[in-house]
Amino acid sequence: MQGFFDKNGKEIKEGMLLNGGVEYASLWGFPKFQIGNYIDEYLIDVEEAAENKPVKLWGSYLEFQNGDCRGINSEFLKDFEILE
């Protein structure tokens, strides 16, 4: 299975925590992730449900620009879980 990588060559793995989740931040050191940065109707429900809580995504590919995470390509988004 082919992996996905950010612009700095770091691998994006399934089940990573986003939205400032501890696991993602500690592993990769990226700033808080804002789901709404990517304009995609498929993600509207995810954005509204998250309310800035950490979100765990499966099968997602993150798009990066200038080292900052800009959004999700939902073609690869399989499922999500909002962490309380």
pLDDT values of the chain reduced to their tens digit, one per residue, 84 residues? 455 554 456 565 555 544 444 444 333 434 344 443 333 333 444 555 566 565 565 544 444 444 444 455 555 555 555 566
Token pair 């304009």 is at which residue?
Answer: 39
User: Is 53 within 8 Å of 82 (Cβ atoms)?
Assistant: yes
pTM: 0.29
Number of structural domains the chain divides into: 1
The pairing of beta strand 17-18 with beta strand 61-65: unpaired
Please tell me the distance from the alpha carbon of residue 76 to that of residue 30, in angstroms, as a whole number.
21
- Residue (of 74, 6, 78) closest to 40 by Cα position: 74
Domain range holding 55? 4-82
What is the predicted pLDDT for the residue at 38? 35
User: Is 40 within 8 Å of 72 (Cβ atoms)?
Assistant: yes
What is the predicted pLDDT for the residue at 82? 59
H helix or E strand, kind and range, residue 6? none
